[in-house]
A and B are shown apart, each in its own frame.
Chain A
Amino acid sequence: MHPAPSIILFTVLSGLGFGLMIFLGLGMPSPTGLSAFIWFAIAYILAVGGIISSTFHLGNPKNILKSFSQWRTSWLSREGCLAVATLLVMGVYGAALVFLNMRIPLLGYVGSALALATVYGTSMIYAQLKTVPRWNHPTTSVMFIAYAVSGGALLAGQVSLAVWFLPAAALLQLFIFLTADGRFGAAGSTIASATQLGNIGSVRQFEPPHTGSNYLMKEMIHVVGRKHALKLQIISVVLLFTPVLLLLLPFSHALALVAVLAHVAGVIVARWLFFAQAEHVVGLYYDKR
């Protein structure tokens, strides 16, 4: 799949933002006043920024309000509804903290749950797609949640939790890197099943339908060299583990910032690979994966 920057940013930033909200909702930390404002501003900038970034991927954003209508079947719609609900609930919860210095725990728990659900919703946009076997797997949701929770914990300064969550997320990512390559094959779609010509013999593309490119090829067919991918995988895993080491060192703001940056960079690289390495079955029609 084409690793569109808008979508990478969307998933990474909104994941962090909602991840932070999970902890804010749980009261970890539970700031008030100006400090609460700053915490919530960070969470909102990340979450809303991510969502805004995602609209750059839209061909026709003027109809955006319609996208809340199909929550019955559409994960994208659900994710939108959940995100809005989260933002509203957390908004009230946060406003109470900022302006009334008051924490309404129940609202916080609901907000946390919604934030978690939102991240799950985001993950399901991808995980639901049978057409992309690499994504069509429970680990996709686990991974999105793991990043949200570990990144959220890191941002929320929950070092004691983060030191567990971060390596867990990194290990999960490593596990995905090591196992996801086989999923396309395991899903069973091949050029033979795509064309139904396999019973005659082995099938290959002779000519593409157009010598010119098209939307499908630009969007769904992205080839990353094996070596290049391996390099990036290593970089991402290293970056993902880096904060753990930094957190084990004595605390300093500078180190914390580096830890956050390393984490975000690691997630971005992993997310880039998440898209770039994902093969859509339509590629079979072009004899490309």
Chain B
Amino acid sequence: MTTLPTHTEKKLGLVIDLDTCVGCHACVVSCKGWNTENYGAPLSDQDAYGANPSGTFLNRVHSYEVQPEAGPAQLIHFPKSCLHCDDAPCVTVCPTGASYKRVEDGIVLVNEADCIGCGLCAWACPYGARELDQQEGVMKKCTLCVDRIYNENLPEEDRQPACVRTCPAGARHFGDLGDENSDVSKLVAERGGVDLMPEQGTKPVNKYLPPRLKDDYTNTGDIDILAPLLEPVAPDAKGILGWLDKALEKL
């Protein structure tokens, strides 16, 4: 239903740790695998073995280079899927009601049976989280693995999104961001989690944990706090042997 619910019981979403993501694309492919075989139409690929391969993915990992004013450039791997926005413009633009936000958990879904493949929702999404499947002609997007997280055919510990379950570095966290006391909310509070493009007013549920301060030495300028640790015990090899005798006595 195109109207956004005024309130959702939960705000399920992902917290992505940019300090830890190594950019391995594991989440990208496990997402492709799960969602090809599950919810809705398979995620198809065009020209799969040819000159211009292209296909539908619900999660993609970008990488950026950031040049600080001082110190070396940094590289940040940046996974991105649907952020399950509270004020999801993709939902309200949808003419058919195929796009909707679930009342019970806030997941934004596409009901493929209703979708006309007009693409307007993809236009409305600032984050590039929606891709129109070229084979099926319907809009695909991250389902937050709605068919895993409640799935009674899966063991309890597997009831989490495929991408979270697979992430080798543990850079992806899943939970209820509407509940202040959830692990994910605490993590966001602790690490200063942020919204992407807040100026778009979409109020994303997913949060990003910014990279921690890197290359600290370049910023502090002075690295001599540790210098006493390297205070020579002797100026030369001979001296060291003298020191050694004394040091060994103490052992």
Contact = CB atoms under 8 A, between A and B. Distances in A.
Chain A in direct contact with chain B (Cβ < 8 angstroms): yes
Interface of A: 1, 57-64, 66-70, 72-77, 80, 125, 128-132, 187-189, 191, 193-197, 199-210, 212-216, 218-220, 280-282, 285-286
B231 interface: no
The prevalent SS among residues of A at the interface is mixed
A133 to B, nearest CB: 10
B116 A212 contact: no
Contacts of A200: 66, 68, 74, 211
B96 A66 contact: yes
Given A201-B74, A219-B132, 11 more contacts: A59-B115, A59-B134, A68-B95, A77-B95, A131-B123, A131-B200, A194-B196, A196-B210, A216-B128, A285-B128, A286-B62
B64 to A, nearest CB: 5
A285 B127 contact: yes
B3 A196 contact: no
Interface string B179-205: 000000000000000111111110000
A215 B126 contact: no
B98 interface: yes
Contacts of B136: 59-60
A135 B122 CA distance: 15
B27 to A, nearest CB: 11
A76 B57 contact: no
Given A193-B199, A216-B128, A129 B68 contact: no
Given A63-B114, A200-B211, A207 B63 contact: yes
Given A205-B64, A214-B55, A216-B128, A70 B123 contact: no
A66 B116 contact: yes
A203 B200 contact: no
A202 B68 CA distance: 6
Interface stretch (B5-13, B86-94, B167-175, B233-241): B86-94
The prevalent SS among residues of B at the interface is loop
A44 B210 CA distance: 56
Residue among B60, B133, B197, B208 having the largest count of chain A Cβ atoms under 10 Å: B197
A219 B95 contact: no
A195 B116 contact: no
Contact of A282 (B18, B52, B97, B126): B126
A1 B122 CA distance: 12
A282 B137 contact: no
Given A202-B66, A206-B63, A281 B96 contact: no
B64 A203 contact: yes
Contact of A66 (B89, B97, B120): B97
B2 interface: yes
Residue among B92, B118, B133, B138 having the largest count of chain A Cβ atoms under 10 Å: B118
A209 B194 CA distance: 21
Given A67-B96, A130-B200, A58 B124 contact: no
Interface string B12-29: 000000100000000010
Interface in B138-156: 138-139
Contacts of A1: 123
B61 interface: yes
Given A63-B116, A67-B116, A213 B52 contact: yes
Contacts of A191: 64
B67 interface: yes
A189 B52 CA distance: 30
A191 B115 CA distance: 31
A76 B1 CA distance: 14
A131 B201 CA distance: 11
Contacts of B92: 73-74
Nearest to A213: B54
Contact of A212 (B52, B120, B134): B52
Nearest to B47: A212
B160 interface: no
B34 interface: no
Contact of A195 (B78, B93, B133, B139): B78
Contacts of A196: 194-196, 208, 210
Contact of B3 (A72, A129, A187): A72
